Amino acid sequence: MLLVCRAVDEDAVRERIHARVPTPHGTTMCRIGDQLLVHVPGDRLAADVLHESGLVQRTVADPSDAPLTDREAVPPGSVVSLGGSATVGGADFALIAGPCAVESHEQMSASVAMARAGGAVALRGGAYKPRSSPYSFQGLGDEGLRIMAKIRAESGLPVVTEVVDAETVDLVAEHADVLQIGTRNAQNFTLLRAVGRAGRPVLLKRGFGCTVSEWLQAAEYVLAAGNPDVVLCERGIRSFEPATRFTLDLSAVAVVKHRSHLPVIVDPSHGTGHRHLVKPLALAAAAVGADGLLVDIHPDPPSALCDGDQALDRDLWFDLADALRGVLTGLGRGLTPGEPEPAGRAR
């Protein structure tokens, strides 16, 4: 049973429950806006205690197997703040862009200028890069984090970077505004719990072998740890079709928007692996109801140390942003406003 309560102190709620139920089974809480979600699986006495207190505003009697993410918990849908004025969710469409990997300060400085000029509200860049081959570029590690933090200080844009293990969560959280969980770690439950306690928004990519239910249950781990600020990212699943790097499952966006209150963005870069496919799939993502995009851009894609074949150069990035504005206007939506451009969009 999921109880939607007034925004009261969580410790006070726990004390109230423990006073009557010394060992409540599996009770979890997550604060979202002015509400406190309390999940009491199979423990009717704990639910009765809260009902008697007058704290319960409404009850979701038959929630899904990921009750804290359930659409009925927050029917209007959640809006997640990435830092500053940047948000994902709601009426507007958010762009997050940047290179797959941090290579140098110069590369990231040029990338953030591109991202901002195209309308991005946040910069992505990987300091740690889990790669299929041990011989591929693995990222700059700690130095990459320092570069991202410096770029954030210089540009004012929030930064998104991947965290790959529970041991480095605190370190990454010191340098980044948003913690990304990549497809390979989508069911690393120790890591999911750790980012849930880190006090930073989480961008959770769908595992390439995960069903929608498994993806939402992965998000549930983060919310159950007390962190409501989760953005889901569809990035393609593995199928029999070799024409694209993965099969970008845009139907999952519509399914998740129906089943969950969490915002959903789409990564057409990793989902296809080819830059010429990024624009059509990005426009389709907007049409199907996604809340934003995560796009690979690079000031010089042929020189990229990671995934250069899917990265957009400056002209292709601006072309995509302009095309998106046209599609969004037809849908009665617009781009989420980011930080102001200091120098305009000079080419």
Per the structure, the count of domains in the chain is 2
Q: Are residues 98 and 211 both part of a single domain? A: yes
- Domain for residue 251, yes or no? yes
- Domain for residue 215, yes or no? yes
Tens of pLDDT, residues 297-335: 999 999 999 889 999 999 999 999 999 999 999 999 999
β-bridge pairing 56-60 and 80-83? unpaired
Contact indicator for 336, 121 with CB cutoff of 8 Å: yes
- Domain for residue 306, yes or no? yes
Q: Are residues 199 and 149 both part of a single domain? A: yes
Rounded Cα–Cα distance for residues 139 and 214 (Å): 29
- Domain for residue 156, yes or no? yes
Contact indicator for 196, 166 with CB cutoff of 8 Å: no
Rounded Cα–Cα distance for residues 326 and 303 (Å): 31
Res. 21 pLDDT band, cuts 50 70 90: low
Q: Could you count the other beta carbons within 10 Å of the beta carbon of residue 4?
A: 18
- Domain for residue 68, yes or no? no
pLDDT for res 19: 67
Rounded Cα–Cα distance for residues 314 and 118 (Å): 9
Query: How many percent of the chain have pLDDT more than 90?
Result: 72
pLDDT top residue among 81 and 20: 81
- Domain for residue 6, yes or no? yes
Give the mean pLDDT of 163-182: 96
- Which structure tokens are listed for 7? 């925004």
pLDDT for res 340: 45
Tens of pLDDT, residues 219-264: 999 999 999 999 999 999 999 999 999 999 999 999 999 999 999 9
What pTM was estimated for this model as a whole? 0.91
Tens of pLDDT, residues 112-137: 999 999 999 999 999 987 777 787 77
Rounded Cα–Cα distance for residues 91 and 93 (Å): 7
Domain that includes residue 28, residue range: 2-62
pLDDT for res 184: 94
Q: Are residues 219 and 325 both part of a single domain? A: yes
pLDDT top residue among 86 and 47: 86
Res. 347 pLDDT band, cuts 50 70 90: very low
Query: Has residue 78 got a pLDDT over 90?
Result: yes
| Residue 293, beta-bridge partner list | 95, 266
| Identity of residue 83 | G
Query: Has residue 190 got a pLDDT over 90?
Result: yes
- Domain for residue 339, yes or no? no
Q: Are residues 132 and 178 both part of a single domain? A: yes
Rg (CA), the chain: 20
Rounded Cα–Cα distance for residues 206 and 204 (Å): 6
- Which structure tokens are listed for 216? 């939402």
